Amino acid sequence: MKIQAEPTLPIYLKFTEVCYKVVIKGVTSTREKEILTGISGSVDPGEVLAMMGPSGSGKTTLLSLLGGRVKEPTGGSITYNEQPYSKHLKSRIGFVTQDDILFPHLTVRETLT
């Protein structure tokens, strides 16, 4: 069995002044809560991105934004090769949750797509 990989292009990830807010609806009022404020960074092809911080500090939210699993940030920008996230990029970005929800009957490719 020969595994044929699709040709890949390097992806440069850049995120600048990323902010993310959620709306909290109460019984008598509605307010916004900032989850991320002014987060910036970059990842070059071949690099590994690691995030550390206490519970509730926004690590999963930022990773979800970077991986396209959450709608656009409420502020700042996230680009891949200087382009915003698109459906074309979705097929090239893999995301595995920290809960490792994997299906044993699927291949790695099927799991990530």
Does residue 8 sit within a domain? no
pTM over 0.85: no
pLDDT one-digit tens code per residue, 17-61 = 999 998 899 889 999 999 999 999 999 988 888 888 888 899 989
- Domain residues for the domain of 58 are 13-112
Q: Is the pLDDT of residue 3 over 80?
A: no
Does residue 39 sit within a domain? yes
Does residue 24 sit within a domain? yes
Q: How far is CA 62 from CA 66, 102, 108, in A?
A: 6, 22, 24
**In terms of Cα–Cα distance, which of 58, 88, 52 is closest to 70?**
58
Domain total for the chain? 1
CATH classification at residue 58: 3.40.50.300
